[in-house]
């Protein structure tokens, strides 16, 4: 690894971009704003997807699939939602190409194949789904509908960054329909909890559950629940959202049901989603200057083994030992890679697997073999130990848990250290610039104040935390009364 | 089930459309040509996907993800491929909507947000992928690349049918890069084998492996391998294809590698795919006039239990018995549903699960309880038996295998009965109309003859079967010499 990489200290943003490349996660494509997710990056996403999918099913949801295109007339039905996404829509206007008569071998859009009605590439699917639910819902017996879909969506972003903000991204979107307001709110909260639990227990990323302010809400929602995570540079990243949509979409698409009592009511709705953005959150929560750091539960390769040898005999004897390790780990569901590639030196491999965030690295040479020892290095702390070979399996099993837990603990401590209570706007501004992090401050509840603070400091209200004691106070900006603190931070 | 459904005998095509609805698999959306895959249909697709994904991984492939959009200039690079798909492309020309000044609450395409270069919604991804591989491949050490992606694709079809031909469909597309022609051909054949093995062992659908003729080949391929299945109406359905792409895409995108010996060569390519079309194949291979018939290995619910009771006490006693069944089946990995919905009568439930193709149905009433008996009905033959309760688990385990095998056997017999060797064109035409099925006939190898037969009879050459003895003969149409028989049939 002759190449010199940028450190987090030097330039966090550049460090991130380089890391995405050096860990072989993804790259920019030649399509403006769209990324290619490479096999190693996709394997991490697949792990996330599998866990989430299981959690959705355990909470009663089924997967389905709805069209990628939304006819303009459906798209504009829920006005707030349409307005919110109109400025970033990819629009299909034609359905055919033809040979360009003026350019040999080139094609042109066939002007005769213009669509009567333009199609929007879905930026989110409420419109097409509620237009479908209309046909599925007549009575309370048809409710609830609990559906999720894994899909690609397109939001035309001008300034893109891999995983964090791309024109096309992969996500899941849950869309549920309920007979009562209470049941829909319960669902909204439940899915916010599912996301928080996933973030903490699998991504080892502590999150704050909260409500968005009106100006930060999903376009078309009555209430947006979110999970907010703190990145290593102190900035916030919205990692998942769960929306209580009220009856807004039911009204826009005229979806009514006859209740048990015989009345005809509009249906209540929720939607909730997480996306490949979680990859960015995962990277920026744990990684270091040597590369990616992965929690074991999401690592495509959990243990890698590198033989150090000078002869075929040595390699063969070491391979035999690692073969034992492979079998024992397989029986315990721990993924293992033995890298005996002869074209690369051990040092190169060490750096490579460090960059890729493999949680545990094993190495064994001729002397280890003689002494019945093995070298074990954990990626999170880089701690290196020489242990008896006959203890290695037990030690790896311990490390899987210990690394997972330590990463969460470390992230929690970091967050605590960078969470500040402030009461004066001056202090807020100074510390925001000097230290960054999350600021718990009183706010008067108006969009006006929120907007002014954003203009002056670039910090936004990330959420109104759900778990907090009520506390009377005065808005740090306007001095008007406030009933509780909210979280201000700069955000991705 | 008061509704009267069309039988296969009456109108096979109408029967199919009705079945898709009554088994709750999918429906047409309000987006022209696009379908909504409903939860039950999607659950079957997920099962197929899981098995295939595992087989791809076992054969060394990794998943990745490439952009949904292909800039026109990349799309047209491989001329034959571009020409093949140009007539059915959805084209994105704008990236923003704006408020329509003449229509309150309506949106219009913003003429100022016209893309400099149009984007094609991928109908297949060779172009964008080979444009990416160019950056990944320098030396033989970078080869092979063995990547698959699960994705949605769009081909603008004028006449659509759910699962069989839709504007948007879901599929997987494998794209591999190799150093030698031999290795690429080996990969092409291997993946055709994987598809055939999946079709037979999971879908219980026998297939014929073969080569496409030049006129039926994938646009841009040097050779297309396929698996062809026979539907119950005697028509053929192409269930999967595996393409040897030669160096066509490497040349179009200038992808060269330095070989071990130091020469600079173009890379060899393959691509292969199956799609939600398999759902149509599955339906039309096994189902009957009562609804869907599913092979146990792909059934989302493998066993359903219906209690027949007149009192809470009876229900409770029967539930206890079924609870035992649930646990025993769970331990054996067999999925089970207990339907004690009080709003529906047993007869309604029987018809419902028959329509949905659940392989085994259990029922138990008060008298069964008394006698230690249980009713077991298998979906494929509708055979109903009364057995001792203490034999039920063993019997279900037997049925899982037996139904799976019987369905394949039945489909094989049907295919044999409807596979005809013909030597005269008159006989071919007469029997094609009267009986349908597959016709093994001699063909002179010219596109001209192929085209004429198609014009006159609507039958096409489905494939040149791989497994057949060489046999000299004369073309049934032209009388010119032929070296072997090919399969003619009408096709979906």
Per DSSP, the three-state class of A139 is strand
Spatial contact of A196 and A229, defined as CB atoms under 8 Å apart: no
> Which chain A residues contact residue B96 at CB under 8 A?
86-89, 91, 156
Place of tokens 């083994």: A305
**Cβ of A31 and B71 within 8 Å?**
yes
**Cβ of A106 and B76 within 8 Å?**
yes
pLDDT tens figures, B305-360: 999 999 999 999 999 999 999 999 999 999 999 999 998 999 999 999 999 999 99
Q: How close is the nearest chain A Cα to the Cα of B38, in Å?
A: 5
Length of chain A: 492
Segments of chain B with pLDDT less than 50: 1
| Helix and strand totals (H; E) in chain B | 14, 27
**Cβ of B154 and A68 within 8 Å?**
yes
Spatial contact of B257 and B265, defined as CB atoms under 8 Å apart: yes
Q: For residue B59, give every residue at least 6 positions away whose Cβ sits within 8 Å of its Cβ, in sequence order, or none.
A: B146, B190, B191, B194
**Cβ of A29 and B343 within 8 Å?**
no
Residue in A with minimal Cα distance to B150: A151
Q: How close is the nearest chain A Cα to the Cα of B257, in Å?
A: 18
pLDDT of residue B104: 87
pLDDT of residue B259: 95
ipTM for the complex? Answer: 0.97
Element (H, E) at B121: strand B114-121
**Cβ of A63 and B76 within 8 Å?**
no
> Which chain B residues contact residue A121 at CB under 8 A?
68, 92, 121
Q: How far is CA B226 from CA A354, B49, B233, B272, B274, in A?
A: 43, 19, 20, 9, 10
B45 φ, ψ to 5°? Answer: -60, -40
**Cβ of A132 and B93 within 8 Å?**
no
Spatial contact of B293 and B357, defined as CB atoms under 8 Å apart: yes
Spatial contact of B374 and B362, defined as CB atoms under 8 Å apart: yes
Q: Domains of chain A by range and CATH?
A: 12-91+123-286 (3.30.930.10), 301-401 (3.40.50.800), 419-489 (3.30.110.30)
Length of chain B: 492
Per DSSP, the three-state class of A93 is strand
Spatial contact of A473 and A486, defined as CB atoms under 8 Å apart: no
Residue in A with minimal Cα distance to B50: A50
Q: How far is CA B70 from CA A68, A80, A100, A115, B192, in A?
A: 16, 31, 18, 20, 27
Question: Which residues, in sequence order, are bridge partners of residue B107?
Answer: B99
**Cβ of A65 and B82 within 8 Å?**
no
Per DSSP, the three-state class of B158 is coil
**Cβ of B66 and A29 within 8 Å?**
yes
For B2, the token pair is: 């008061």
Separation of alpha carbons A274 and A197, rounded Å: 13
Residue ranges of the alpha helices (H) in B25-115? 39-58, 72-75, 79-85
Q: For residue A257, give every residue at least 6 positions away whose Cβ sits within 8 Å of its Cβ, in sequence order, or none.
A: A137, A138, A139, A140, A142, A143, A179, A264, A265, A267
**Cβ of B105 and A43 within 8 Å?**
no
Residue in A with minimal Cα distance to B41: A64
For A203, the token pair is: 């991504």
Of A401, A417, A393, nearest to A332 by C-alpha is A393
Residue ranges of the alpha helices (H) in A217-257? 248-252
Per DSSP, the three-state class of B345 is coil
How many degrees, rounded to 5, is the angle at CA A446 between CA A440 and CA A450?
55
pLDDT of residue A468: 87
Dihedral (CA of B338, B341, B342, B345) sign: negative
> Which chain B residues contact residue A67 at CB under 8 A?
29, 31, 34-36, 168
How many degrees, rounded to 5, is the angle at CA B242 between CA B241 and CA B244?
140
Of A434, A447, A435, A456, nearest to A475 by C-alpha is A447
**Cβ of B67 and A168 within 8 Å?**
yes
Q: How far is CA A437 from the centre of its chain?
A: 20
pLDDT of residue B1: 46
> Which chain B residues contact residue A119 at CB under 8 A?
31, 90
Residue ranges of the alpha helices (H) in B165-311? 181-201, 248-252, 277-286
Separation of alpha carbons B338 and B358, rounded Å: 12
CB-facing half-sphere around the CA of A219: CA atoms within 13 A: 18
> Which chain B residues contact residue A151 at CB under 8 A?
152
> Which chain B residues contact residue A101 at CB under 8 A?
none
Q: How close is the nearest chain B Cα to the Cα of A71, in Å?
A: 7
Place of tokens 């209540």: A268
**Cβ of B64 and A36 within 8 Å?**
yes
**Cβ of A132 and B72 within 8 Å?**
no
Dihedral (CA of B426, B431, B433, B436) sign: negative
Q: How close is the nearest chain A Cα to the Cα of B477, in Å?
A: 35
Spatial contact of A438 and A449, defined as CB atoms under 8 Å apart: no
**Cβ of A141 and B343 within 8 Å?**
yes
Separation of alpha carbons B187 and B59, rounded Å: 10
Q: How far is CA B118 from CA A462, B72, B73, B91, in A?
A: 37, 6, 9, 7
Q: How big is the A-B interface in CB pairs under 8 Å?
A: 188
Q: Is A266 exposed, middle or buried (0-12, 13-18, 19+ CB in 10 A)?
A: middle
> Which chain B residues contact residue A43 at CB under 8 A?
62-63
> Which chain A residues contact residue B90 at CB under 8 A?
69, 92, 94-95, 119
Per DSSP, the three-state class of A70 is strand
Residue in B with minimal Cα distance to A35: B67
Place of tokens 């919205």: A238
Residue in B with minimal Cα distance to A157: B95
DSSP one-letter code for B460: E
Nearest to B93 among A37, A79, A94 (CB): A94
Consecutive sets of 10 residues in chain A, 492 residues long: mean pLDDT of each? 84 98 97 96 98 98 98 96 95 96 93 97 98 98 98 94 97 98 98 98 98 96 98 98 98 97 96 98 98 98 97 96 98 98 94 98 96 98 97 98 98 98 97 97 97 98 94 96 96 96
> Which chain B residues contact residue A64 at CB under 8 A?
36-39, 42
pLDDT of residue B2: 56
Question: Strand A438-442 to strand A419-421: parallel, antiparallel, or no bridges (unpaired)?
Answer: parallel
> Which chain B residues contact residue A86 at CB under 8 A?
96-99, 107
SS (H, E, C) B33-55: CCEEECHHHHHHHHHHHHHHHHH
Separation of alpha carbons A328 and B140, rounded Å: 34
Q: Is B350 exposed, middle or buried (0-12, 13-18, 19+ CB in 10 A)?
A: middle
> Which chain A residues contact residue B62 at CB under 8 A?
39, 42-43
Separation of alpha carbons B149 and B173, rounded Å: 5
Residue in A with minimal Cα distance to B155: A95
DSSP one-letter code for A488: E
Separation of alpha carbons B140 and A86, rounded Å: 47
> Which chain A residues contact residue B107 at CB under 8 A?
72, 75-76, 82, 86
Element (H, E) at B31: none
Separation of alpha carbons B436 and B429, rounded Å: 10
Separation of alpha carbons B368 and B343, rounded Å: 23
CB burial readout A311-322, b (16+ within 10 A) else e: eeebbebbbebb
Separation of alpha carbons B153 and B88, rounded Å: 11
**Cβ of B89 and A95 within 8 Å?**
yes
**Cβ of B94 and A98 within 8 Å?**
no
> Which chain B residues contact residue A91 at CB under 8 A?
92-97, 109
Residue in B with minimal Cα distance to A145: B39
> Which chain B residues contact residue A141 at CB under 8 A?
343
Per DSSP, the three-state class of B114 is strand
Largest CA-CA distance found in chain A, in angstroms, rounded: 83
CB burial readout B50-71, b (16+ within 10 A) else e: ebbbebbeeeebbbbbbbbbbb
Spatial contact of A49 and A150, defined as CB atoms under 8 Å apart: yes
Q: How close is the nearest chain A Cα to the Cα of B134, in Å?
A: 12
For B135, the token pair is: 């950056």
Nearest to A107 among B86, B92, B96 (CB): B86
Q: At what angle do helices B12-22 and B277-286 cross, to 10 degrees?
A: 110
> Which chain A residues contact residue B89 at CB under 8 A?
95-97
> Would you tell me how many other CB atoms lie within 10 Å of the CB of residue B319?
17
**Cβ of B89 and A96 within 8 Å?**
yes
Spatial contact of B281 and B195, defined as CB atoms under 8 Å apart: no
Residue in B with minimal Cα distance to A82: B107
**Cβ of A66 and B118 within 8 Å?**
no
pLDDT of residue B456: 98
């Amino acid at each position: 690894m002759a190449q010199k990489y940028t450190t987090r200290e030097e330039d966090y943003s550049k460090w991130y971009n380089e890391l995405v490349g050096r860990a072989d996660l993804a790259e920019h494509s030649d399509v403006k704003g769209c990324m290619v997710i490479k096999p190693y990056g996709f394997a991490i996403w697949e792990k996330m997807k599998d866990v989430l999918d299981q959690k959705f099913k355990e909470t009663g949801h089924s997967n389905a699939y709805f069209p990628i295109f939304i006819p303009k007339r459906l798209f504009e039905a829920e006005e707030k939602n349409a307005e919110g996404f109109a400025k970033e829509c990819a629009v299909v206007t034609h359905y055919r190409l033809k040979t360009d008569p003026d350019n040999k071998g080139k094609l042109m859009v066939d002007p005769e194949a213009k669509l009567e009605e333009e199609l929007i590439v879905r930026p989110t699917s409420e419109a097409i789904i509620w237009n479908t639910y209309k046909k599925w819902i007549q009575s309370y017996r048809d409710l609830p509908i609990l559906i999720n879909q894994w899909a690609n969506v397109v939001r035309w972003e001008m300034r893109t960054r891999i995983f964090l903000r791309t024109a096309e991204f992969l996500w899941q979107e849950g869309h549920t329909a309920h007979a009562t307001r209470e049941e829909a709110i319960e669902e909204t909260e439940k899915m916010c909890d599912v996301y928080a639990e996933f973030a903490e227990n699998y991504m080892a990323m502590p999150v704050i559950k909260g409500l968005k302010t009106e100006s930060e809400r999903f376009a078309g929602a009555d209430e947006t629940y979110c999970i907010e995570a703190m990145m290593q540079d102190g900035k916030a990243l919205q990692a998942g959202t769960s929306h209580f949509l009220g009856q807004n979409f039911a009204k826009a698409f005229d979806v009514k049901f006859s209740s048990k009592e015989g009345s005809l009511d509009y249906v209540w709705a929720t939607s909730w989603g997480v996306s490949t953005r979680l990859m960015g959150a995962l990277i920026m929560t744990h990684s270091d200057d040597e590369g990616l750091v992965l929690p074991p539960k999401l690592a495509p390769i959990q243990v890698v083994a590198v033989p150090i040898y000078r002869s075929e005999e040595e390699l063969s004897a070491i391979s035999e030992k690692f073969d034992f390790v492979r079998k024992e780990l397989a029986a315990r569901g721990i993924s293992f890679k033995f890298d005996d590639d002869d074209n690369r030196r051990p040092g190169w491999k060490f750096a490579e697997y460090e960059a890729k965030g493999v949680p545990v690295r094993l190495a064994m040479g001729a002397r280890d073999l003689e002494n019945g020892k093995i070298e074990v290095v954990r990626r999170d702390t880089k701690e290196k130990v020489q242990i008896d070979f006959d203890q290695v399996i037990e030690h790896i099993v311990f490390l899987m848990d210990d690394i997972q837990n330590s990463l969460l603990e470390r992230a929690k401590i970091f967050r605590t250290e960078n969470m500040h209570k402030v009461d004066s706007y001056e202090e807020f501004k100074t510390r925001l610039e000097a230290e960054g992090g999350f600021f718990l401050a009183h706010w008067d509840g108006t969009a006006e104040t929120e907007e002014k603070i954003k203009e002056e400091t670039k910090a936004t209200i990330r959420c109104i935390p759900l778990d907090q004691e009520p506390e009377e106070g005065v808005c740090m900006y306007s001095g008007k009364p406030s009933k509780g603190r909210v979280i201000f931070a700069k955000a991705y």
